[in-house]
Amino acid sequence: MLFILKSDLLKVKRKWFWLLVFLGPFGVIALQMVNYGVRYDYLMKQQPDVWAGLLENINMFVAPALLLGMTILASQIAALEHQQSSWKQLLSLPVKRREVFTSKWIIVCMMIFISSTLLFLGTVLFGISLKFSVHDIPIFAVLKNSYYPFFAGIPVLCLQVWMSIVFSNQAFPLSVGIFGAVFSLAAYAAPDWVPWKWPLLIGAYDPLWYVIAGLITGSILFLAGMTDFVRREVLS
């Protein structure tokens, strides 16, 4: 497993993947820079708790950015093998198929987790730059706003990795992922059982419910995808 992970990390080392990992959280924070730059006085009056107001504004863009990042990263990592027609060569090595699938999944998870960490740091630094009180930083709330969407979105990540590996033509998984990201912008009124709504952390339940639902559903989809990959003789 460690050998496969090292191999996959080497494949993405000189690619633009890491730029995308940075661009996601940077884009979310940059949008808020513009938002607060244009409407600072209005936003200060709207929410007495300035940190809570900042988190609400950031949360609006976290879900679509997260889902789009999962889609692109999963597609591009799988495309490395598809474009070079190296699946047969890779699977002919003395490695287990489930480890190959798991390695791709771990790489995408790791990158999204790093993006969530950058979002956490960016949120704190941006709040400080707006001269919000350092002593009043709601660390736990910022952590929830940065990491909860990631855990709640695990089912989408598993689905995108699965589809990206199975389909050599990335048009289908990319279309599904982009549609899901766009859908999340207007998913507030969607039923709570829709996974693309869960990263919003908004609905009839506590945000922790969506995290738990994401982890459980994600585990099921991960096992289903890995089982399907192990049983496939030729990737199409």
Domain housing 117: 2-231
pLDDT band at 168 (very low <50, low <70, confident <90, very high): confident
Q: Where are the alpha helices (DSSP H) in the chain?
A: 2-13, 17-46, 50-83, 87-91, 97-129, 139-152, 154-166, 171-185, 207-231
Domain assignment present for residue 134? The answer is yes
Return the SS3 of 92.
Answer: coil
Domain assignment present for residue 118? The answer is yes
Domain assignment present for residue 236? The answer is no
Q: How far is CA 92 from CA 80, 169, 232, in A?
A: 17, 22, 14
Q: Please state the domain count of the chain.
A: 1
Per-residue pLDDT of 48-98, as tens digits, reads: 889 999 999 999 899 999 999 999 999 988 888 887 777 777 777 778 889
